[in-house]
Structure 1
Amino acid sequence: MEIGVDRSLCEANAVCVGLAPDVFDLDDDEELVVRPGPVPADEVEHVTDAVKNCPKNALFITG
């Protein structure tokens, strides 16, 4: 599982950061940063919750 972001929708509300801080973060410019590569097995549930709870539906699961 990997994560995609529709940058045209993302407002960097940080809901995903709160749910899966080992995968999502905000940089110094308040832009969403996603850990590269596949999601670690122990983070899949947290990431799935983050995708479902994104207020702008900007996150999606790939692969």
Structure 2
Amino acid sequence: MQANSGAKLGIGVIGCGNISMTYLRNAAFFAGVELRACADISAEMAVLRGKEYGIRALGVDALLA
């Protein structure tokens, strides 16, 4: 990705516990970043955070693939 391309870097967060809310909320402050997904070993936690932030909830292996 080139710095001037205008394209955003898609990111995902692994781990959907308490600290993840800070990462997920603060991702919006970075203009070149687009939060796309979250993952956790607990599918329920990933789904909860995914719904809260309007992103996909995935398994850890799927996010890393």
Using structure 2 for the length normalisation, give the TM-score: 0.29
RCO higher in 1 or 2 (8 Å CA, sep ≥ 6)?
1
Max Rg structure: 2
Structure with greater proportional helix content: 2
Using structure 1 for the length normalisation, give the TM-score: 0.29
